[in-house]
Amino acid sequence: MTSIPQFRNEPFADFTRPDVRARMERALADVESRLGAVHPLVIGGALVPTERTFASVDPALPSRVVGRFAEATPEHADRALEAAWEAFGSWRRTPAEERARILLRAAGLMRDRKFELASWMVFEVGKTWAEADGDVAEAIDFLEFYAREGIRWSEPRPQGPWPGEDNWVEYLPLGAGVAIPPWNFPLAIMVGMTMAPVAAGNTMVVKPAEQSPAVAWQAMSLFREAGLPDGVANLLTASDGAVVGRHLVQHPRTRFVNFTGSREVGLEIVREAGIPRPGQRWIKRVVAEMGGKDAILVDADADVAAAADGIVAAAFGFQGQKCSACSRVIAVDGVHDALLEEVRRRTEALTVGPPQDPGNRVGPLIDGQAEGKVLSYVEIGRGEGRLVTGGRRLEGEGHFVAPTVFADVAPDARLAQEEVFGPVVAFLRARDYEEAVVIFNGTVYGLTGSYYGQRHLGDAVRDLEVGNLYLNRKCTGALVGVQPFGGFNMSGTDAKAGGTEHLLQFLQAKSISRRHA
């Protein structure tokens, strides 16, 4: 590993610089001129067109078609799994350094095309410039990080001494797996979920979310360009992810499932993968990272302005469509009213509109279904609490909903318990820190959360039951290699993406004992 420098996080683009802004503007114009093209499946290195296709559209302007994509069927899924197993034979024997070089090449290509990839996300999922740039940076980080991790896990680990014997453990890939990512980090999560197992020597069938096939296609093209051998990653786009997704999960040839998405689908996958099918020779491994009801707890001695900044960024960044988004604020009596007022002021200052315009801080929701769901929770909120600001859809074709704050929400209210996945945050009042902790831990989820304050900093580390805890900072924006990411309880299997244990999810240990002659 000597020739590979130490991992460093990819810096974010500085859009205050005119030259950087100009590059992003050029990339947006270039991508806009390429919208609407038709893209095939990728199976065993072959580009496979299908008769039926489906469209991906711009959520800020749904009449604009971003691209048309091949419609995969269960038969395509069978072929893709076959291709992945065929490629596994040689990929598992490819030296880890060689595998890593391909990931590093892909990271380099991504760096060169940073603004282009960000532009695809602006058009396809409605990310603002900064959010799209953060997504690209995270994808680069995953490639860089897992490349190094693949090498590290490939080294035999000596075990305790025993007279007359050498004992060691080797970590081996599992086989052909399935990646089922969500649309909300369409590059970073898709790349991470595909290439972590690949770095460890596995091969993959990837079924991207139906809302973000264009970004997945860009990633796949880049893997191929970086030299990923045929069949190591196969791409199946489909307009109804449940059909092909379910087929892949149930398939006897699927060795493991790497899923990120909603709790409902994640639990179905855990259930379905647990049923052995005729011809199946293994227990399927399932990594399932799911939703959250993430809270920011603000204590009596907190810096109220800093907490308000953190809450607004975490609640409304990418329109609240992050698993880590702050959807509950638990404020103790002493600061509650001042904090609510600071949050209201900052929320009303947010500009909402098409993300192609860098002046907008909040873009559209992903689709009409998401819009309907968020607006239905606004109605529920009106019955359960006091609407402080927002609570309405904006005029026009796009799926824009104003950033929304509710106050006086009870801990057992639906708005305080269920994942909305949109720009809605509920304020809950607590008598003191102890009561705030009970409220904080009072959901089935356990993904991210923050504590703002000083006097209970140490207690918060012990008391708050989440996979990712932040002290005096917002609860979004985990960095690869810095804050390994994964949830407790119904938020997931705690796979800690971007951490040093992550690759172990896709490896099996062989314990070897050699008697001396």
Where does this chain bind ligand NAD (CB under 6 A)? 180-185, 189, 207, 209-210, 241-242, 245-246, 249, 260-262, 265, 268-269, 289-292, 323, 419, 421, 447, 487, 491-492
Q: Which of 116, 124, 289, 384 is catalytic?
A: 289
Measured from the CB atom, the residue of 116 and 494 that comes closer to ligand NAD is 494
CB of 293 to ligand NAD, least distance (A): 10
- If the CB atoms of residues 182 and 403 are measured against ligand NAD, the closer one turns out to be 182
Residue type at 160 in one-letter notation: G
Tell me how far apart the alpha carbons of residues 282 and 356 are, in angstroms, rounded to a whole number.
48
Nearer Cβ to ligand NAD (223/445)? 445
> Least distance from C-beta 36 to ligand NAD, angstroms?
22
**In terms of CB distance, is 246 or 251 closer to ligand NAD?**
246
The residue nearest ligand NAD at its CB is: 241
Closest distance of CB 289 from ligand NAD, Å:
4
Rounded Cα–Cα distance for residues 477 and 309 (Å): 14
Question: Closest approach of Cβ 320 to ligand NAD, in Å?
Answer: 10
* Calpha distance 453→127 (Å, rounded): 31
The residue ranges of DSSP E strands in 98-235, in sequence order, are 157-158, 165-173, 176-180, 203-206, 233-235
What single letter denotes the amino acid at residue 410?
A: A
Contacts 24+ apart (CB under 8 A), 466-473: 466/294, 466/491, 467/491, 467/492, 467/494, 467/496, 468/324, 472/302, 472/303, 472/306, 473/310
Residue written as tokens 């399935």?
178
49 touches 70 (CB < 8 A)? yes
**Closer to ligand NAD at the Cβ: 292 or 449?**
292
Of residues 171 and 377, the one with the C-beta less far from ligand NAD? 377
Q: Kindly tell me which of 91 and 440 has the beta carbon lying closer to ligand NAD.
A: 440
Token duo for residue 484: 């390994």
Closer by beta carbon to ligand NAD, 134 or else 181: 181
Phi-psi map region of 408: left, alpha, beta (phi>0 left; psi -120 to 50 alpha): left
Q: What is the spatial distance between Cα 209 and Cα 408, in angstroms, rounded to a whole number?
A: 36
Q: Are 415 and 406 in contact (CB under 8 A)?
A: yes
Q: What separation in angstroms does the CA of 126 have from each of 220, 395, 441?
A: 21, 17, 32
Find the shortest distance in angstroms from Cβ 411 to ligand NAD: 20
Work out the burial of residue 29: count CB atoms within 10 Å of its CB; fewer than 13 is exposed, 13-18 middle, 19 or more buried.
exposed
What is the Cα–Cα distance from 378 to 425, expressed in whole angstroms? 10
Which residue lies nearer to ligand NAD by CB, 403 or 487? 487
The verdict on whether 326 is a catalytic residue reads no
Residue 421 CB, shortest distance to ligand NAD, in Å, is 5
Catalytic site includes residue 138: no
Q: Give the C-alpha separation, 122 to 58, whole Å.
A: 8
> Which runs of consecutive H residues, i.e. helices, occur in 294-352?
304-316, 333-348
Q: What minimum distance in Å lies between the beta carbon of 448 and ligand NAD?
A: 9
Least Cα distance to 459 among 439, 481, 476, 436 occurs for 436
**Exactly one of 116, 210, 323, 342 is catalytic; which is it?**
323
Question: 3-state class of 457 per DSSP?
Answer: helix
Kindly write down the DSSP assignment for every residue of 477-515, as one continuous string. ---TTTS-B--SGGGB----BTSTTGGGGGEEEEEEEEE
Q: Is 502 left (phi over 0), alpha (psi -120 to 50) or beta?
A: alpha
Residue 193 CB, nearest approach to ligand NAD (Å): 10
As annotated, the active-site residues are: 289, 323
